[in-house]
């Protein structure tokens, strides 16, 4: 399925909250869903790296990097770790780097841009807190959906039923 969000909005519009701005697809996969796990950080990807090194089966890491365009919160090595640990996707309100390599990886990655500069490693950030950007709240335990049409969240997991 290439277009998940249109079908979900046709079926359950009242249960979904749509991001009010687009994100750029960087990974090889563009369609995903999963349980939200969050990190809130600013120009320090220590907590991102820590979480993506754990089992992410059925989960999507949502990173609020405060929209910073100054440093990349995800590079090829951390994306590789996410893929190996079965994360469904990584969504970043901030930048990635190694975009060419990440484009070849079998994982969904959405971000607002690229920057080749790595982050500081100060172990600063908060895990599994509600974060807000793109006009919606990303609440740990809720479900996130993404495709080339955008991003949306719902309190409970939605399924597409056949007509």
**CATH number of the domain residue 115 falls in:** 3.50.30.40
Question: Is 75 labelled as part of a ligand binding site?
Answer: yes
Identify whether 159 is part of a domain.
no
Identify whether 53 is part of a domain.
yes
Identify whether 13 is part of a domain.
no
Question: Is 141 labelled as part of a ligand binding site?
Answer: no
Domain count, the chain: 1
Identify whether 15 is part of a domain.
no
Question: Is 106 labelled as part of a ligand binding site?
Answer: no
How much of the chain exceeds pLDDT 70, in percent? 98
Identify whether 117 is part of a domain.
yes
- CB count, 10 Å around CB of 155? 12
* pLDDT at residue 1 is higher than 90: no
Question: Is 98 labelled as part of a ligand binding site?
Answer: yes
* pLDDT at residue 162 is higher than 60: no
Q: Determine the pLDDT at residue 161.
A: 67
Q: Determine the pLDDT at residue 111.
A: 99
Task: Give the structural domain span for 102.
Answer: 4-8+20-154
Mean pLDDT in residue range 42-51: 98
Question: Is 78 labelled as part of a ligand binding site?
Answer: yes
For residues 18 and 104, the answer to whether their CB atoms sit within 8 Å is no
Identify whether 14 is part of a domain.
no
Q: Determine the pLDDT at residue 94.
A: 98
Question: Is 71 labelled as part of a ligand binding site?
Answer: no
pTM of the predicted model over 0.75: yes
């Amino acid at each position: 399925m290439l277009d998940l969000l249109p079908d979900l909005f046709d079926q359950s519009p009242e249960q979904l909250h749509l991001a009010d701005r687009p994100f750029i697809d960087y990974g090889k996969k563009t369609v995903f869903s999963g349980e939200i796990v969050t990190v809130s950080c600013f120009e320090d990807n220590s907590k991102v790296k820590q979480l993506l090194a754990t089992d992410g089966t059925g989960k999507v890491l949502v990173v609020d990097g405060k929209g910073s365009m100054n440093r990349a919160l995800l590079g090829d090595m951390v994306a590789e770790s996410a893929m190996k640990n079965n994360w469904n996707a990584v969504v970043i309100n901030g930048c990635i780097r190694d975009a060419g390599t990440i484009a070849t990886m079998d994982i969904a990655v959405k971000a607002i841009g690229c920057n080749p500069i790595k982050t500081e490693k100060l172990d600063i950030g908060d895990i599994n807190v509600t974060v807000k950007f793109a006009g919606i709240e990303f609440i740990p335990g809720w479900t996130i959906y993404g495709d080339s049409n955008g991003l949306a969240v719902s309190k409970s997991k939605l399924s597409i039923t056949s007509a």
